[in-house]
Structure 1
């Protein structure tokens, strides 16, 4: 067997593999003998099928399979032994001029094109500056959160006249173009949450309504074409909700209002435990701490995105773009040319980040241990289970679930990539200059 690599340029190469009969004959004969021992064919006792018969019936298929296996193993070993860093996977070069008999006497030659990973230089120093935003709760955001919490623990009342935050329990009937009720059209009984109505003019028509009042409602305009809300209100599939164009007659059956809970000790104890909070100031401080903790996650993601953007733009590297486009098409049969053109830049940017990550890990001896992957997976599973049950899962059971979860290759790879990213960002933040800057939440979201 002979294998050679011809460099086309710094980013592309061709690997040529020549295989002679002595490279594959023994393997093919062995596979034929093993097939004969296992075969159960009409006219023969099981395991007693003559080797010559198996060779005549299946010899060509066995030969093709052994050649493919030999090619795969040879190519992988060549790349590993020569430390060739490739992007994507090698692609076979089709050559219609080569014809083989596939009878065990052929001298085969197969060529593969490969995309080579570019040389990458990444150096992070204190001169690299990033901003860590410390997001503070602005008055509007804090007031909205407090209001929602108080309403969650409040009581339901039925006022005579509707206000902006009320819920109208009503009958809805689809209207024809002339304004009459459409016979056989969509009808439902549901709750119209006025806090979900985005059109201010329509909201005004729904405020001040009483039981038995009748109004017209353009559901698409009222809810800003939100098919999820519309589907739930009309009790129809979301796909159907997208296509609804007509208005609806709304007949109010009741007005529901969720009154806010009083700021008393009973309320504080329900929220935080007995005696933890004793007054409104303490309550406000606790809620502020809670929402600013949630903001920190957003701020951390913003910092990571800023680092990602700066490095992918500042670290210069060329990619074998033509090869990568060909590889993407070859490995994604349903990928259209339009989809490839639209998505390639994002793919290339993510690939550049992967190369930057790998370079930082290699140059700075960043370790990713199984224990890190296990603990991260366990945290993710614990958070997921807590969404359905407030009481934590026993530690030994959670550990067992985690071990089972990581046996799935896709799960393990996903968590590994997450840990890898965390480790790299931690390293960058430890070397670069990170400047804290306070910002109100309403200003912060304008930056996102």
Structure 2
């Protein structure tokens, strides 16, 4: 077998692979004999099928499979042994002039296009400057979080008259233009959350109502044409909800109110464990710490995005764009030309960042260990669980969840890539200049 590379330019090359009968004959014959021993064909005892018969029936397909295996194995080995850094995957060059007989005597030659990775040159130093935001909990955000937690541990009551964030359990019926009930229209009994009503006038009409009250609302106006909310309320598909017009009759069947839990020792112990918090000030401090910890994750993402943007703009490199466009089309059959052009700039930018990441990791001998992946996955899962309850999950149970989570290949790969990115960002932070700046969450949110 003979493999050669012809460089077209610094970013493109063609690999030529020549395969002669001595490269494949022995493998083909071995496969034929093995298949003969396993075959169970009419007219022959099992395992006694003559190899010649197998060759006559399946020889061509066995040969094709053998050649494909040799191509894949030896092309990858050649690229690895010769340290050829490619982008995407090698693409076979179609040549209609070649007409192989596939009879075991062919001298094969196959060509593959390569997109070569460019040489990446850059240096990160203290001259690279970034703002490191320290996000603080403002009164509005803190009050909202405390309210949600107290309601999560509160109790349901049924006041006579609706107010605030109550939920109306009601019958809803679509109306005709004249205000009568549309008998063939949408009818459903559901829960109207007052805090989901967008129109102020409609919200006012739903406030102060009691059981058995009947009123009329414009369903699209009430919920800001949010198809998902309307579909859930009426028990219909989102597509139908989007097209729905007209008004609905609302017959109140009940008023539900979730009362906030009292700020007492029983409540504190239930959330944080016995004796950890003993008064309202300690409770507020704990919640502040919790939400500012979540804000830190948002601030870290902002810093990382700023690093990504600044460095991809700073580092100049050319890519084999023509090859990459061809490769994307070849590996995504449903990708239209319009979709390719629309998304190529983002694809190229992300690829550029990957090359920057790889250089930082290589130049600084950065290692990614399993314990790093496990720790990160565990932190992500713990953060998800805390969204539903501030009470910490037992350590052994969280560890078991993490192990199960990482056994899913996609989860493991995703967390590995996340850890890789985090280690690169950590390195950048250790070298660049970071300027700390405190900012209220409401102001920070406006920046994103």
- TM bucket by the smaller chain? over 0.9
> Corresponding residue for 1:410?
410
Note if contact 1:122-1:359 (Cα within 8 Å) is conserved in structure 2: no
> Corresponding residue for 2:61?
61
Provide the alpha-carbon RMSD of the alignment: 2.4
Note if contact 1:32-1:51 (Cα within 8 Å) is conserved in structure 2: yes
Which deviates the most, 198-207 or 80-89?
198-207
> Corresponding residue for 1:92?
92
After TM superposition, the structure 1 = structure 2 runs for residues 47-446 of structure 1, keeping only pairs within 5 Å, are 47-380=47-380, 392=393, 395=396, 406=406, 408-446=408-446
SS of alignment partner, residue 112 of structure 1: strand
The whole-number CA distance in structure 2 between the counterparts of 1:276 and 1:381 is: 23
Q: CA deviation at 1:344?
A: 1.6
SS of alignment partner, residue 371 of structure 2: helix
The whole-number CA distance in structure 2 between the counterparts of 1:287 and 1:316 is: 45
SS of alignment partner, residue 44 of structure 1: coil
Note if contact 2:157-2:256 (Cα within 8 Å) is conserved in structure 1: yes
**CA 1:305/1:3 → structure 2, altered by over 3 Å: closer, same or farther?**
same
The whole-number CA distance in structure 2 between the counterparts of 1:342 and 1:138 is: 40
**CA 1:267/1:92 → structure 2, altered by over 3 Å: closer, same or farther?**
same
The whole-number CA distance in structure 1 between the counterparts of 2:441 and 2:400 is: 40
The whole-number CA distance in structure 2 between the counterparts of 1:406 and 1:149 is: 30
> Corresponding residue for 1:36?
36
Note if contact 2:85-2:117 (Cα within 8 Å) is conserved in structure 1: yes
Question: Residue by residue, what CA displacement relative to the aligned partner does 1:282-316 show, whole Å, maximum 9, x if unpaired?
Answer: 33222222211111111111111111111112111
Note if contact 2:20-2:107 (Cα within 8 Å) is conserved in structure 1: yes
**CA 1:321/1:23 → structure 2, altered by over 3 Å: closer, same or farther?**
same
**CA 1:140/1:410 → structure 2, altered by over 3 Å: closer, same or farther?**
closer
**CA 1:45/1:164 → structure 2, altered by over 3 Å: closer, same or farther?**
same
SS of alignment partner, residue 347 of structure 1: helix
TM-score (ref. length: structure 2): 0.92
Q: CA deviation at 1:386?
A: 7.8
Question: Residue by residue, what CA displacement relative to the aligned partner does 1:305-349 show, whole Å, maximum 9, x if unpaired?
Answer: 111111112111111111111111111112222222222222111
Q: CA deviation at 1:183?
A: 0.6
TM-score (ref. length: structure 1): 0.92
**CA 1:437/1:354 → structure 2, altered by over 3 Å: closer, same or farther?**
same
Q: CA deviation at 1:278?
A: 3.8
Which deviates the most, 85-94 or 135-144?
135-144
**CA 1:296/1:45 → structure 2, altered by over 3 Å: closer, same or farther?**
same
Note if contact 2:272-2:392 (Cα within 8 Å) is conserved in structure 1: no
The whole-number CA distance in structure 1 between the counterparts of 2:141 and 2:387 is: 24
The whole-number CA distance in structure 1 between the counterparts of 2:315 and 2:182 is: 63
The whole-number CA distance in structure 2 between the counterparts of 1:280 and 1:15 is: 72
Identify unmatched segments of 5+ residues in structure 1: none
Q: CA deviation at 1:103?
A: 0.8
Question: Residue by residue, what CA displacement relative to the aligned partner does 1:148-178 show, whole Å, maximum 9, x if unpaired?
Answer: 2333344444333322322222111011233
**CA 1:16/1:313 → structure 2, altered by over 3 Å: closer, same or farther?**
same
Which deviates the most, 92-101 or 267-276?
267-276
SS of alignment partner, residue 30 of structure 1: helix
